[in-house]
């Protein structure tokens, strides 16, 4: 066992949880757990939906790798519990996590900072969704404001599709977001590190069947093409990376994240869609893919993220 691994202490890989993304979280967490064990880390699986978080303290865990996705894992709640327990954890802190999972709040901050994000409306009924379509134009994206993995997302082409689209999103979250659809290339950009040390990894271009990058295609088919190198012009890739670093910084993110961006086919302008502060680590996931293109193996990536585990307020609490 390496000295480095010993110094990381007893590690809990938080996975499972109670969000709509539970199954994906178990896939991510299992991969992370195996990677850490292969590097000699004293790592253990821990499912917060089955066990009391207080057990982390009682059982002497020194740090946590958060492989939870969606609500109660990526939204600041588990981060706040770990702050109180004084156990350092991977990824962003309480405030950045709670803002980033809320696509409406994220957009408000990005717009306040002058960063480009597609036009949008928050809606609370099917009628409001139809009104949003009249305002934003077709096609339009209808999605839950606080969920990931494209769960509950619909691309609507006409007013007749709005009722079903709203019902589908509202089933997942009472806050529903309507967003202008940007026609063009879909890319994603992982970021590693914090503050001035944050760096953008290679851009991945996503080519999905009929442009349909949904839950099924994300995780359970091999129909989607992921292009790394992304095929963008060098200046264009660098511009997107710089934009994502700004988007990451203004939300106060740390550790790691992954931002989704659309590049308008006509104007070539990049538009920020959302940012994930606990990205997937499954066999289909994009951060490991981009890291590999940068010469970082899956196992090394897991160790790097774990080494960066921190608390918002530094040090362990008494």
**40: which residues sit within 8 A by CB, 6+ positions away?**
1, 2, 5, 6
- Buried/exposed 42-75: b ≥16 CB within 10 Å, e otherwise: ebeebbbeeeebeebeeeebbbbbbbbbbbbbbb
The pLDDT assigned to 36 comes to 97
Average the pLDDT over 120-126 and give the result: 96
pLDDT in tens, 152-161: 899 999 999 9
Please provide the CATH number assigned to the domain covering 99-116+183-300. 3.30.470.20
User: Is domain 3-90 classified as CATH 3.20.20.140?
Assistant: no
Whether 297 and 270 have beta carbons less than 8 Å apart is answered as no
Which residues are catalytic, by number? 21, 149, 219, 258, 260, 274, 276, 280
Integer CA distances (angstroms), 50 to 44, 53, 139, 279, in order: 14, 9, 42, 22
Matching fold, domains 3-90 and 99-116+183-300: no
> Has this prediction a pTM greater than 0.95?
no
Domain boundaries, the chain: 3-90, 99-116+183-300, 120-180
Give the chain's length: 318
Per the model's pLDDT, the better-predicted residue between 283 and 212 turns out to be 283
Assign domain 120-180 to a CATH class: alpha beta
Report d(CA 250, CA 239) in Å as an integer.
Answer: 17
Over 50: is that where the pLDDT of 1 sits? no
Label residue 82 left, alpha or beta by phi (over 0 means left) and psi (-120 to 50 means alpha).
Answer: alpha
pLDDT in tens, 48-71: 999 999 999 999 999 999 999 988
């Amino acid at each position: 066992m390496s000295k480095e691994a010993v110094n990381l202490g007893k590690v809990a890989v938080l996975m499972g949880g109670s969000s709509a993304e539970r199954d994906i979280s178990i896939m991510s967490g299992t991969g992370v757990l195996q990677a850490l064990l292969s590097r000699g880390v004293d790592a253990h699986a821990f499912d917060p939906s089955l066990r009391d978080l207080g057990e982390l303290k009682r059982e002497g865990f020194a740090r946590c790798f958060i492989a939870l996705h969606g609500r109660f894992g990526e939204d600041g709640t588990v981060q706040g519990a770990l702050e109180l327990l004084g156990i350092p954890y991977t990824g962003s802190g309480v405030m950045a996590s709670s803002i980033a999972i809320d696509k409406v709040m994220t957009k408000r901050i990005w717009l306040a900072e002058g960063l480009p994000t597609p036009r949008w409306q928050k809606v609370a009924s099917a009628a409001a969704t139809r009104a949003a379509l009249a305002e934003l134009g077709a096609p339009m994206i209808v999605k839950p404001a606080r969920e990931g993995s494209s769960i509950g997302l619909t691309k609507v082409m006409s007013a007749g599709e709005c009722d079903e689209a709203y019902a589908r999103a509202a089933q997942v979250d009472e806050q529903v977001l309507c967003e202008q659809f940007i026609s063009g290339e879909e890319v994603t950009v992982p970021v590693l590190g914090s503050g001035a040390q944050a760096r953008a990894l290679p851009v991945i271009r996503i080519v999905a069947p009929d442009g349909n990058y949904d839950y099924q295609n994300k995780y359970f088919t091999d129909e989607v093409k992921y292009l790394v190198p992304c095929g963008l012009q060098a200046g264009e890739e660098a511009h997107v990376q710089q934009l994502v670093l700004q988007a990451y910084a203004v939300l106060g993110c740390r550790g790691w994240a992954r931002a989704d961006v659309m590049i308008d086919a006509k104007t070539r302008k990049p538009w920020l869609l959302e940012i994930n502060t606990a990205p997937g680590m499954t066999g289909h996931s994009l951060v490991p893919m981009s890291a590999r293109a940068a010469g970082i193996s899956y196992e090394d990536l897991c160790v790097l993220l774990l080494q960066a585990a921190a608390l918002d307020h530094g040090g362990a609490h008494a």
